[in-house]
Amino acid sequence: MYADRYGNAFDSNEKWNQISITEGDLYAWSEVSTYIQEPPFMVGLSEDVDAIKPIQGARALAALGDSVTTDHISPAGAIAGDSPAGKYLNDNGVQRVDFNSYGSRRGNDRVMLRGTFANIRIRNQLAPGTEGGVTRHIPSGDEMTIYDAAMRYHEENVPLVVLAGKEYGTGSSRDWAAKGTQLMGVKAVIAASYERIHRSNLVGMGVLPLELVDGQSWQSLGLTGEETFDVLGLDDNLQPLSELTIRATAADGSQTEFQTSVRIDTPVEMDYYRNGGILQTVLRNLLKS
């Protein structure tokens, strides 16, 4: 039965066989494709593992409540015309009727990065009264999309954190929720608690998941999200399930220090984080072998 159905697979579809292809062992990336691009996760990767870098002077990209889902973080549905992803597609000659969905374009990091935190139902308390992927750039106070703010912080060489409540990352185990977070320049997430798989995915992308202790929330600590954040003691001595102190400094110079638990739960995850993520770990191990 199998031979009958698939015996002529290579010559039965004339249109498929007319598709122009390139020969060779490596995929020929097309710069003009809006569906698939070479992902940037390995760019600049060295053979040696860098030292764990401290997080100093970070700004909050978003301050979120409880039960933020992976779909809030990385939506799979329709791409809005006025969204950063929609503007990118429009600038690349894609008509609105052909935008398709984030899920269909998950092979293009340029779309998925712009879609991170772009769910129309996400509420960022750094921009009260708004709904959707909106934030305020601090200290300017300028209101803009989360994508535009992340790119502005990148230009200013400012690291980022995300403040969140309980069950951060609940829902489906959507890999782009962690990938997009990393591409945004977020170095750490500070949450009251995590959904199991998303916490693991954050570690796998080199993002540090920090969990508040003693039932605290960022609101109960008196934080507004407008502070600068220093993760004290973050260095090569970091161990799974250890504790780190965070110092939040307000615009008036007042400081709040609080403890967090490092939700890197195992030595294997610690290895991922030291390498900058699971992809980098696998590649370096292959090079060694």
pLDDT at 70: 98
pLDDT at 49: 95
pLDDT at 184: 98
Per the prediction, the chain carries an average pLDDT of 96
Tokens of 109: 């990091």
pLDDT at 289: 87
**Which whole number is the average pLDDT over 2-12?**
90
Q: For residue 211, is pLDDT > 90?
A: yes
Quick: pLDDT tens for 66-90.
Answer: 999 999 999 999 999 999 999 999 9
pLDDT at 276: 96
pLDDT at 122: 97
Question: 23 falls in which pLDDT band (50, 70, 90)?
Answer: confident
d(CA 181, CA 159): 12
pLDDT at 20: 85
CA distance to 45, 59, 103, 250, 252, per residue, from 156 (Å): 23, 11, 31, 19, 21
pLDDT at 116: 98
pLDDT at 214: 86
Q: For residue 148, is pLDDT > 90?
A: yes
Q: For residue 204, is pLDDT > 90?
A: yes
Quick: pLDDT tens for 154-202.
Answer: 999 999 999 999 999 999 999 999 999 999 999 999 999 999 999 999 9
For the chain, the structural domain boundaries read 56-72+122-288, 75-115
Quick: pLDDT tens for 240-264.
Answer: 999 999 999 999 999 999 999 999 9
Question: Phi then psi for 6, rounded to 5 degrees?
Answer: -115, 5
Q: For residue 10, is pLDDT > 90?
A: no
Q: For residue 118, is pLDDT > 90?
A: yes
Tokens of 252: 């008036």
pLDDT at 114: 98
Quick: pLDDT tens for 275-284.
Answer: 999 999 999 9
Q: Looking at the domain that runs over 56-72+122-288, which CATH code has it been given?
A: 3.20.19.10
